[in-house]
Chain A
Amino acid sequence: MDMFLEILISALLVIGGIFGAVGSYGLVKLPDPMTRLHAPTKAATLGVGSVLFASLLWFGFFSEQSSWHELLIILFIFLTAPITGLMIAKSHIHRSWQWHELPKPKPDENWATCAPDREEPEAEHQKAMG
């Protein structure tokens, strides 16, 4: 049983390490910013989840101080990684894409990052100054 657990934990650690390294390498290797978003938000998150699960098993079976803290961290990371990806994608669209380069939205709708009723920063500033 101990042997089996050791093999399982080692396999989880190795898989997690490979996924983490691949995720970070994709950040350097992939050609443009939108594809670069894929590597860290998917592969690296899976790698960290695998390592945390290995830690959960190790503390549960080989140590006296077992706890569920890692599960909390896994849940938190898996919930927040897509939100991070979404926010960074939105900021990238906002900064470096013109409106006519984006796919056409539905007739009555618009892209959230280029809403037409948004006031310009200068106008807001002038309004604040009176």
Chain B
Amino acid sequence: MIDYALYFAFACFGLGQLFCLYRVVIAPGVSDRVLALDTMTINMIALLTLFGILHGTGMYFEATLLFAMVGFVSTVSYAKFILRGDVIE
């Protein structure tokens, strides 16, 4: 039963990644693109976690944590760059 739920969740988050990719390519403004990239990292965290459950290994924890941190820092620095024209003042 967990397998079917896993595959369903894989399909949902894969679909989410496609929506985000569409929004990265076709977007009305730059803030939408940044938001879509941030959502892509969040969906990727979920996909990595699901992959870890599917293979029964805890090897992906560190990758997930790194993804979360790097995604957050990159989004904030991009927004900061748009706001001030500089990342670190």
Contacts and interface: CB of A to CB of B under 8 A. Distances in A.
Contact of A21 (B5, B15, B35): B15
A28 B57 CA distance: 34
Interface of A: 6-7, 9-11, 13-14, 16-18, 20-21, 23-25, 27-28, 33, 36-37, 40, 44-45, 47-48, 51-52, 54-55, 58-59, 63, 65, 67, 69-70, 72-73, 76-77, 80-81, 83-84, 87-88, 90-92, 94-96, 113, 121
B88 interface: no
Interface SS majority for chain A: helix
Nearest to A65: B58
A27 B23 contact: yes
A64 to B, nearest CB: 10
Interface of B: 1-2, 4-6, 8-13, 15-17, 19-20, 22-23, 28-32, 34-36, 38-39, 42-43, 45-46, 49-50, 52-53, 56-58, 61, 64-65, 68-69, 72, 75-76, 79-80, 82-83, 85
B83 A40 contact: no
A88 B77 CA distance: 10
Which 10 pairs of residues, A with B, have the shortest CB-CB distance?
A24-B16, A17-B12, A17-B9, A87-B79, A10-B5, A40-B39, A21-B12, A13-B5, A91-B82, A92-B31
Interface SS majority for chain B: helix
Contact of A73 (B5, B23, B64): B64
